[in-house]
Structure 1
């Protein structure tokens, strides 16, 4: 796989970690980002810059993307200077953005019309997983591509999981985000409660994390919160986007998800107060009792 030229569009927190791991594995990677300065770390690590998604796709056998919002995915795929306009026949297109199942299906259909293959492959694991190459990847698309994807993703993922046709990877990611809505709200409220009760917070994290309350959010974000570190492993504004997608999809299936709805409202309050660029753990700053001595 190392002889295949990869294109990667999106050099944010997640994309940067992923690209660097591909480069460490000996892959040749061509990159584009809306703001070129944000691509500088991966360029310095050995990636090659291209001037547009079209320019990336025109020279690569496999094109991956991880951008912020569904509208960004629309632009990089369907714009006049986009991936579909520039892609080589037979190319494999992989959108790793957490986006809508409907858009994933649209990309797959348009790709097939052009003699291309496309899959949706959103990830879980945050900035830590991207940096350490331990992401969990959820795939929707042609199942015959799975072994190829497992080989491709080996430098960046601990597991690659197939869920069904186009859009299924996005549905799996929505299930993941619904779960995280519970663990993040639980983590932040648990810490506020423990602090108000006068408990040692380090000891509380240790004990809760060693029992039935153990979860990834607690292990990875609990220590950051205690250090006052709200830098984004995952932006709150992007998590809000995910919760909105999840609830829209739930509505389409005539489902009621009241706890997820409440989590969405809490993150809306956070984003609306100008804290959308904090990490998801920054939700705790919305509780007035947290910052009290």
Structure 2
């Protein structure tokens, strides 16, 4: 995958994160086809869309990548989606001589812009090794997690950890304000200590500035939490922290905040 002259990359989904990610591939000198769903010429296709239903459409729809994909192609789905769907894509692709990899990402708009995403990969090890040079153009923490669906399961772990953490971040900021402290000064103390987290460092400052633009949409986070809850139920695992976070975010969505960034959870206490 180092040959930028002969490798043509398809990229479906140029939203908040996909736009920056596609740009990094272009900057590296690869030929890039944006939004094209006829893939006869492309041998590597990235997808990062919204919901599992969108993944279904892109992969199995009338103009889908599976029915129209070229034998020997590599499909890399970076959407956060259901692990079972990742397995289905892998199995159907393999029947057609196509390699499929589930590679969801974490790092939000900042990670996408700076090519510092964390990429969690499931699929055949050999396929991962082939496309690894491309993934390295998009992220700095690329870990092969195992069999098809393993990348999506890992992303669920990521989202579960974030869900409860976001509640803690918001409550800490609100507490600081209620106690009459300067919350920005408080952050200087607590972001580098045991309480430190990506959300505390990157999203708490946005809350304080009143910046609720999406680095990651609330509506997509709710989708992720639903997937995680379904998977946990399938494994007979209670997830009370995740359930609470989902209920709070759903209240925000009902109040018209579904297109805000996840840091808008702050408004739950302010409204």
What TM-score comes out, normalization by structure 2 length?
A: 0.97
- Are the equivalent residues in 1 in contact too, given 2:25–2:134 (CA < 8 A)? no
Runs of 4+ deviating beyond 6 Å? none
Match of residue 99, structure 2, among 117, 122, 125 = 117
**What is the alpha-carbon distance in structure 2 between the residues aligned to residue 192 and residue 213 of structure 1?**
15
Partner of 1:20: 23
- Show the counterpart of 2:215: 233
- Measured against aligned partners, the alpha-carbon deviations of 1:21-52 in whole angstroms (never above 9, x if no partner) come to 111111111011xxxxxxxxxxxxxxxxx3xx
Per the alignment, residue 42 of structure 1 pairs with none
| Aligned counterpart, 2:226 | 244
Q: Which residue of 2 aligns with 1:263?
A: 245
> For residues 128 and 97 of structure 2, what CA distance do their matches in structure 1 show?
19
Moved more, 143-152 or 73-82: 143-152
**Alpha-carbon distance between aligned partners in 1 of 2:129 and 2:91, rounded to the nearest angstrom:** 22
RMSD of aligned Cα (Å): 1.0
Shift of 1:182: 1.8
| Aligned mates of 2:131, 2:141 — CA distance in 1 | 11
> How do residues 35-184 of structure 1 correspond to structure 2 at under 5 angstroms?
50=36, 53=37, 55=38, 57-184=39-166
Per-residue CA distance 1:186-240 (angstroms, 9 max, x = gap) = 1111111110111111111111102111110011111111111000000010001
User: Which residue in 2 is equivalent to 1:37?
Assistant: none
Specify the alignment match of 1:215 in structure 2: 197
Instruction: Measure, in 1, the Cα distance between the counterparts of 2:90 and 2:66.
Output: 11
| TM-score between both structures, scaled by the size of structure 1 | 0.90
- Structure-1 residue corresponding to 2:188: 206
Q: How far off is 1:241 after superposition? A: 0.4
Over residues 237-263 of structure 1, what are the superposed CA-to-partner deviations in whole Å (9 max), with x where a residue is unaligned? 000100010010000000001011100
2:214 partner SS = coil
Q: Measure, in 1, the Cα distance between the counterparts of 2:60 and 2:129.
A: 28
Task: Output the CA distance in 1 between the equivalents of 2:249 and 2:177.
Answer: 22
Q: Can you give the 5+ residue segments of structure 2 that lack an aligned partner in the other structure?
A: none
Aligned pair count reads 268
Cα separation, 1, equivalents of 2:254 and 2:51: 17
Show structure 1 runs of 5+ residues with no match.
33-49
